Amino acid sequence: MGPDAVFDAIQALRAGGRPFAVVTVLRTEDATSARPGDKAAIDADGAIIGHLGGACVRRAAREAAAALAEGATPRVIRVRPADRVVDLTDADGAAVYRSGCPSGGSVELLVEPFAPAPRLAVWGDGAVAQALLTLGAGMGLRSEARDAATRAEGAEGAGDAALGPRDAAVVATQGLGDLPALREALASGAGFLGMVASRRKAAALSARLAAEGAEPGRLAALRSPVGLQIGALAPEEIAVSILAEMVAARRLAAACSGAAG
């Protein structure tokens, strides 16, 4: 399999929004079928597209890729004959995997995990919603418009279940279908929840949803009025303030997590 197939696979995995890892052969010793520069993509199911060598190397690469969290720091691993392994971690921190292959070769690999871009789901079709979708896409987010107002009650929109902790849900309906949109956003599973509305309006809608049995924790997580206070007036400025708050929430949370670790 040539390198073009590997790069095609990487492009397809990125386009499909699936996590994956890219594994590159850095160095080899003794008899191995892999050569420095050989590369492969490993998807979330463990399928390997590309050439890394024999079964022992592929198994180690698959295990290392699965062990790394999405977006984690790339790491170097080494695959050695079992009789040459003294410790499962080298002095430089590289993980060591035992090989039982009769060839007796050793391989050093770089494993790089890649996470799909976060999703930004926006309810509403006004100027703020459109600006948010456009600017979000420009930041590399997978922006998508949602429309709860025209959806049959109880029906799911395309991709609704895909929102998760890394994703954002912003209600920018501004008076047109606020309640069903907010109801969907709260149920979406998105880690960032925001609404373009005054505090009074958001409180009234939240009280109504609380009476319907909405989860208190999700209601408490709702940011409204969403967006950093930068004096924004124009729709594009409001969209910038919302995206800025999303960035701050994500980056500061990551920094706090790193400090705690």
Summarised one tens digit per residue, pLDDT across range 163-199 is 999 999 999 999 999 999 999 999 999 999 999 999 9
At 229, the pLDDT band (50, 70, 90 cuts) reads very high
Rounded alpha-carbon distances, angstroms, from residue 37 to 3, 101, 160:
10, 21, 40
What confidence tier does 256 reach under pLDDT thresholds 50, 70, 90?
low
Give pLDDT, residue 156. 46
Arithmetic mean of pLDDT, 24-28: 96
pLDDT band per the 50, 70, 90 thresholds, residue 149: low
Residue, of 3 and 96, whose pLDDT is higher: 96
pTM, rounded to two decimals: 0.72
Report the 10 Å Cβ neighbour count for 153: 6
Helix axes 235-260, 127-138, angle to 10 degrees: 50
pLDDT of residue 253: 72
CATH class assigned to 119-260 = alpha beta
Considering the chain, tell me which residue range(s) the CATH 3.40.50.720 domain(s) occupy. Answer: 119-260
Comparing 2-6, 30-34, 113-117, which segment has the lowest mean pLDDT? 2-6
